[in-house]
Amino acid sequence: MTCTEFLAILDEVIDQSIAAETRAEIEVHMKKCGHCEVVFNTTRKTIEIYRAHELYELPTDLRDRLHNAIMEKCKKSKGPCS
Amino acid sequence: MMATIQSVAGDEGQHPDIALVERVKAGDISAYDELVRKYERQVFRIAQHITQNREDAEDVMQDAFLKAYEKLDQFQGNAKFYTWLVRIAVNESLMRLRKRRTGKLVSMDEDIETEEGRVPRDFADWAPDPEQNYDNSELSEILRKTIQGLPRGFRVVFALRDIEGLSTEETAEALNLSVPAVKSRLLRARLQLRERLSRHFRPGAKPAPPPRQAGSPAGKRV
């Protein structure tokens, strides 16, 4: 496996949607290629960090206010059955 | 009796949102209250990722849920309600941006013809648990600024697929893109974010706190 081939399936490797034999080839490649190993580990870490941190929080009072506004608008509208 | 058992088994395979949608269609608005409660935070976050503006995201959230309610009879039930709702939220977000730009066309494809992120360039490993080097607000700021720097078409694919957990197919449906287009943008989004975060997360990236100045004559001109 070359680095270009590795990069082409990086997403599948990260998402664990590849066949076992391809996975074995990838492990062999990463043992030989420090660059690809770093790219794999840090890309996976990038996703983990973004998943673990709420960037745009909706505070409870704002959430309640918006929720009530939505429901008020829906009640006033003709609705889906019009 | 057999028919009852079969129909119960059939219901188990159905997404719970479908029953709520059916109740709303039958005139039960409390079922819509449940759907809004269930997805309002996700819709708000998606609108924030696209508009990058809090007030716009608040407006988009309200408009998207109202539009979804009014158009619910067009929801066929062959897609997930959530994916259908995200698609409405994406369109409302783009319309909001268009308004801000006084009618100028806004699309998901702006600035994606960049070469950045096609191939990785930075091969420095990261410090172990690099996020531990920053306090929560510093880290949030780094993560926000980094993702905000991506072209919109990459940012939104990453947000839907990796943050909100939609599948590749659902992301394609919500953004009206082909599956190969989503895959290509996702890879480049991931690589660009990785590359940009490396500046903060490689060992020694965080500068040491400045030395204490109190009582020091260092800053004095003589």
Q: What does the pLDDT profile of chain B (222 residues) look like in tens digits?
A: 444 444 444 455 788 999 999 999 999 999 999 999 999 999 999 999 999 999 999 999 999 999 999 999 999 877 899 999 999 999 999 999 988 877 666 666 665 566 666 778 888 889 888 888 899 999 999 999 999 999 999 999 999 999 999 999 999 999 999 999 999 999 999 999 999 999 999 888 876 666 665 554 444 443
Helices B29-51/A60-76 angle, 10° precision: 120
User: Nearest 5°: CA angle at B188, between B172 and B45?
Assistant: 55
Quick check: B142 and B197 in contact, CB under 8 A? yes
Residue B124 is predicted with a pLDDT of 85
Contact status, residue A11 vs residue B190, Cβ threshold 8 Å = yes
Which residues from B are below 8 Å from A61, CB to CB?
none
Choose among B49, B139, B186: nearest Cβ to A53.
B139
Task: Tell me the C-alpha distance between A43 and A11, whole Å.
Answer: 9
Is A24 among the domain residues?
A: yes
Total count of domains within chain A: 1
**Model pLDDT, residue A55:** 93
Q: Closest Cα to residue A9, out of B7, B216, B103, B186? A: B186
Flag if A70 and B36 touch (Cβ within 8 Å).
yes
Residue of chain A with shortest Cα separation from B147 = A50
Q: Which residues of B touch A78 (CB under 8 A)?
A: 70
Could you read off the pLDDT of A10-20 as tens digits, one per residue? 999 998 888 88
pLDDT computed for residue B81 by the predictor: 95
Residue ranges of domains in chain B: 2-100, 130-201
Does the beta carbon of A1 lie under 8 angstroms from any beta carbon of chain B?
A: no
Domain-located, residue A27: yes
Residues with Cβ within 8 Å of B177's Cβ and at least 6 positions away in sequence, in order, are B108, B157, B171, B185
- Percent pLDDT > 90 in chain A is 77
> What per-residue confidence (pLDDT) applies to B12?
55
Q: Which residues of B touch A79 (CB under 8 A)?
A: 27, 29, 69-70
Rounded CA-CA distance B142/B41 in Å is 22
Element of type H or E holding B56: helix B54-70
Q: What is the dihedral of CA B63, B65, B70, B76, to 10 degrees?
A: 130
- In a domain, residue A82? The reply is no
Q: Between A and B, how many residue pairs show a Cβ–Cβ distance under 8 A?
A: 118
Cβ burial of B10 (10 Å; 0-12, 13-18, 19+) is: exposed
The DSSP call for residue B159 is I
Q: Confirm or reject CATH 2.40.30.40 for domain B130-201, answering yes or no.
A: no
- Position A17 in a domain: yes
Q: Which domain holds residue A52?
A: 3-76
Q: Are B197 and A55 in contact (CB < 8 Å)?
A: no
The verdict on domain B2-100 having CATH code 2.60.40.1220 is: no
Structure-token pair, residue B153: 């078409």
Compute the distance between CA of residue B135 and CA of residue B42 in angstroms, rounded to an integer. 25
CA-based nearest residue in chain A for residue B39: A67
Cβ contact (<8 Å) for A80 and B25? yes
* Nearest residue of chain A to residue B190 (CA atoms): A43
